[in-house]
Amino acid sequence: MSKEKNWKEISLAAVPSKSSVSFLTGDWKTYMPNHALEKCVKCLTCAILCPEGAIRFNPEHGQVEFNFSFCKGCGICANECPAKAIAMKIPEEEE
Amino acid sequence: MSTQEWKFTAKDIIAKPDLFLPGHRACAGCGPATVLRLILKATRGPTIVTQATGCMEIVGSIYPYTSWALPWIHTAFENAAANASGIEAALKIMRKKGKIKDEHVDVIALAGDGGTYDIGLQALSGAVERGHDFLFILYDNEGYMNTGIQRSSSTPIGASTTTSPAGTAIPGKLEKKKPITEIMLAHDLEYAATATPYYWKDLITKVRKGLEVKGPAFLHVFAPCPRGWRSEPSKTMEYSKLAVESCVFPIWEAINGKRQLSTPSKVISLAPQKKKPVKAYLEGQGRFRHLFTPKNTHIVDEIQQATDERWQKLLQQCTSTNP
């Protein structure tokens, strides 16, 4: 049996050490946002209101990009989009 | 307090890296998660966050993962504000002894409505009375959603929760929502405000104003919870907008006790025809579903009347302090 630690040896608190970025929540979703690039007015409302931070603006391509590794498919982006450029769809099963 | 106005543009906000990282385990469509992301976009330098137990503490720190990209301390339900005062005092003495760099560090205390309205109120009142320099942010999802949707003193009248279930005995919660911001204003705060995430620019500006204040500041953020409100996840932000438009949750700020309405609410005060009936806000939320049955329709009228009275009172308070 290992020796019990005294109170000075026990760490002060539990310290979560891993960044949650390595925990992908993208597989939670039922609906998938379908982004019509030609309708997008780049107002960035979707990127601001997304609870996950899964929507980014890519200055290189000048486009709004979705990170499906984290998107939970809530549909806030589709609901708030002023240009109605985002539609929520059930992704088709891959053969 | 400086009267400088901050211009947070959508581009600036998106360009600033997230400090509340993705991969947190909040429900799809979580209102408070958006609130946290936006709050941390307003930080201006070194910041320490302390958070009371609640939904957002759980989802952001499931061991061994953390969603916080800045120093963050979890504390018990009761003492988010007490912890913030401790942090602020420790920073002061460490700076004095030369143990840390001589620079300002912002302290933010975060708590849900349980950790503010009910359990954390004494610690908050004490910390504000002692005048510690911190910003207390309340994200109000109107119930103890994390433990299974129990009523809190923030739950509005008529809402069905697991401890105030609507049925034959009672039509949902019978008691009114506690006016927390009024209680905090009675402490002679330099800055107190209410905000909702839909009006994100307003929210971020208010967070920054609260951080700039030398002394305690209080911010009440309305954060719809699709799970607890039994509403559509995609409608989260719509409800935070409807709450303002129906004057259920008007947004305003009080600087040194002088109240003024923020733009979205001001628009409604100037153009009363734009005010929506509370029915528009209540509809679609499962927690208010029973109010639309024939025997309960009088409760909707009562809620409308109470909302109108509160709105008129707020308008009077705004004009009486700003002649």
State the total domains in chain B: 1
Please give the residue that has the higher pLDDT: either A1 or B78. B78
The answer to whether residue A58 is domain-embedded is yes
CA distance linking residue B16 with residue B271, whole number of Å: 36
Q: Could you tell me the residue range of the domain that residue B83 belongs to? A: 10-321
The answer to whether residue A57 is domain-embedded is yes
Q: What is the CATH number of the domain that holds B51?
A: 3.40.50.970
The answer to whether residue A26 is domain-embedded is no
Q: What percent of chain B clears pLDDT 90, i.e. is strictly above it? A: 88
Cβ B112 vs Cβ B52: under 8 Å: yes
pTM for this one? 0.92
A45 CA: distance to closest CA in chain B (Å): 8
> Above 70 in pLDDT, residue B105?
yes
Return the ∠ at Cα B296 (arms to B290 and B300), rounded to 5°. 90
The answer to whether residue A54 is domain-embedded is yes
Q: What percent of chain A clears pLDDT 70, i.e. is strictly above it? A: 95
B277-307 tens-digit pLDDT: 999 999 989 999 999 999 999 999 999 999 9
Read off the tokens for B147.
């433990």
Q: Could you tell me the residue range of the domain that residue A69 belongs to? A: 40-90
The answer to whether residue B1 is domain-embedded is no
Mean pLDDT across the stretch B145-151? 92
> Above 60 in pLDDT, residue A95?
no
State the total domains in chain A: 1
Mean pLDDT across the stretch B176-182? 93
> Above 90 in pLDDT, residue A12?
no
Q: How many CA atoms lie within 13 A of A35 on its CB side?
A: 19
> Above 70 in pLDDT, residue A93?
no
The answer to whether residue B287 is domain-embedded is yes
Contact B10 A44 (CB under 8 A): yes
CA distance linking residue B68 with residue B24, whole number of Å: 9
The answer to whether residue B168 is domain-embedded is yes
The answer to whether residue B305 is domain-embedded is yes
Cβ B262 vs Cβ B252: under 8 Å: yes
Chain-wide mean pLDDT for chain B? 92
> Above 90 in pLDDT, residue A17?
no
The answer to whether residue B291 is domain-embedded is yes
The answer to whether residue A23 is domain-embedded is no
Output the pLDDT for position B323: 58
Touching check for A62 and chain B: CB below 8 Å?
Answer: no
Contact B26 A29 (CB under 8 A): no
Say which of B18, B69, B234 has its CB closest to residue A78. Answer: B234
Q: What is the ipTM of this complex?
A: 0.87
B1-47 tens-digit pLDDT: 444 566 788 888 888 899 999 999 999 999 999 999 999 999 998 99
The answer to whether residue B65 is domain-embedded is yes
Place of tokens 């004494």: B122
The answer to whether residue A24 is domain-embedded is no
Touching check for B30 and chain A: CB below 8 Å?
Answer: yes
Cβ A39 vs Cβ B227: under 8 Å: no
Decide: residue B283, CB within 10 A, 0-12 exposed, 13-18 middle, 19+ buried.
middle
Output the pLDDT for position B310: 95
Contact A25 B234 (CB under 8 A): no
Touching check for B224 and chain A: CB below 8 Å?
Answer: no
> Above 60 in pLDDT, residue B93?
yes
CA distance linking residue B172 with residue B295, whole number of Å: 13
B158-174 tens-digit pLDDT: 999 999 999 999 999 99
Cβ B77 vs Cβ B115: under 8 Å: yes
Contact B10 A45 (CB under 8 A): yes
CA distance linking residue B24 with residue B5, whole number of Å: 32
Q: What is the CATH number of the domain that holds A82?
A: 3.30.70.20
Output the pLDDT for position A92: 79
Which residues contact residue A66 at a Cβ distance below 8 angstroms, ignoring those fewer than 6 apart?
Answer: A33, A35, A54, A55
B49 CA: distance to closest CA in chain A (Å): 15
- Residue B299's CB is within 10 A of a number of other CB atoms, namely 20
Chain-wide mean pLDDT for chain A? 87
Output the pLDDT for position B155: 95
